[in-house]
Amino acid sequence: MATALAFIKRDVSLTLSYRLSFLFQFLGILLSLATFYFLSRLIGGAMAGPLEAYGGEYFPFVLLGLAFSTYMMLGLQTFSQSIREGQMMGTLEIMLLSPTRLSKILLASSLWAYVFGSLRVFVFLFFGVVVFGASFPQANLLATGVILVLSIISFASIGMISAAFIIVLKKGDPIAWVFGSLSTLLAGVYYPVSVLPDWLQGFSAALPLTYALDAARHAVLQGYSLYQVRFDILSLLCFSAILIPLALFSFRFAVKKAKIEGSLAQY
């Protein structure tokens, strides 16, 4: 707990020291929402067919896509950014050679990013509902919460693998680039996966965000129960079961390799 509080205190101080940037982030959310709101008005009923499975309205559909993609990008970037900052500031070697467990360092360094990211998602949804009139009267909160937790675990695991690449390669981060780019294109953030060509839909099936968005939209927009989204939840569980051990192994291997080569302090 003390380690987590120390990291949070540090990160909160850094965030509040850039107050203008803090303000611009929330103004950016409002402008981004306005863009998609007016786009939804332009589209109107043109996408009613592909969106029928999710209630038929584009703005709530894309609103959830933006919210969950925020958590995906947090997972992909938080750990690698923390590692990169440690390399640049010369603190990485000290952290990794300390008696504190590696897993605790990783989790503690990411806590504030997830707290702040969740605040941004809340503001996203708040503006969407209050300013632009989105509504989720049928939302199943239990199912949504389970889906969100499993999604964060899957995204964070990929982010830990990305951080392992940063330790070894310093500046190269192919994992975050590949998963971030492909997920944005293929997972259905801005449009249903069903509009993609059949051969691309096959690739989307390999991305955790695809199942997270499908399940979340059904749970929030149509009130689906855990049982009704069981296939997506099982898929996210499978991703987690595979990715968590792979992430821990990759990170430990990267640290061990860097220690042997004496490259922890290099940047």
CA–CA separation, 18 vs 40, rounded Å?
A: 34
156 pLDDT exceeds 60?
yes
What pLDDT digit, counting tens, does each position of 188-226 carry?
999 999 889 988 898 999 999 999 999 999 999 999 999
Instruction: Output the 3-class SS for 8-61.
Output: HHHHHHHHHCCHHHHHHHHHHHHHHHHHHHHHHHHHCCCCHHHHHHHCCCHHHH
What is the pLDDT confidence band of residue 13, given thresholds at 50, 70 and 90? low
Q: How far is CA 115 from CA 8, 108, 167, 264, in A?
A: 9, 12, 25, 28
Q: Where are the alpha helices (DSSP H) in the chain?
A: 2-16, 19-43, 48-51, 58-89, 92-96, 102-130, 141-169, 174-186, 198-204, 208-221, 230-261
What is the pLDDT confidence band of residue 267, given thresholds at 50, 70 and 90? low
Give the dihedral of Cα atoms 241, 245, 246, 248; nearest 10 deg. Answer: 140
Average the pLDDT over each of 88-92, 111-115, 178-182 and give the range with the smallest value: 88-92
145 pLDDT exceeds 90?
yes
What is the pLDDT confidence band of residue 65, given thresholds at 50, 70 and 90? very high
Q: What is the pLDDT of residue 99?
A: 62
What is the pLDDT confidence band of residue 89, given thresholds at 50, 70 and 90? low
The average pLDDT across 243-251 equals 90
CA–CA separation, 150 vs 154, rounded Å?
A: 6
103 pLDDT exceeds 90?
no
pTM score: 0.86
Report the chain's mean pLDDT, rounded to a whole number. 83
